[in-house]
């Protein structure tokens, strides 16, 4: 009986943790999508045209929530979450590092975020 109670507690705790983290991420999604919308309304988000001739409005996009939530790897997650910072880290650290560029980039990101 105790084993079952512990298992239910761990499962419920994990579900609660996931739900709580999702709600926190939604705050970021809201802020970034609102900022993206304002930038697009002012014209700053225009990024040229596709091969089809359709206008691209992703110049200032900073998050892709669906790709972030459904990412299958850490690489896909970092490419779709905080896109501006990820591009900056790629240009400033990853492409310039001679030794262990991935580790150096994560170290700089950890230092940057405190």
Residues assigned a catalytic role:
82, 113
For residues 86 and 32, give the distance between their C-alpha atoms in angstroms, rounded to a whole number.
15
How far is CA 40 from each of CA 35, 54, 87, 110, rounded to the nearest angstrom? Answer: 9, 15, 20, 31
């Amino acid at each position: 009986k105790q084993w079952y109670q512990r298992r239910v507690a761990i499962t419920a705790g994990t579900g609660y943790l996931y739900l709580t983290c999702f709600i926190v991420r939604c705050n970021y999604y809201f802020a970034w999508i609102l900022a993206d919308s304002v930038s697009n309304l002012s014209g700053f988000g225009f990024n040229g045209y596709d091969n089809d001739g359709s206008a691209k409005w992703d110049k200032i996009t900073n998050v892709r929530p669906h790709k972030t939530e459904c990412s299958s790897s850490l690489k896909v997650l970092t490419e779709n979450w905080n896109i501006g910072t990820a591009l900056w880290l790629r240009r400033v650290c990853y492409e310039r590092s001679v030794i262990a560029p991935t580790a150096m980039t994560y170290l700089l990101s950890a230092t940057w975020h405190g």
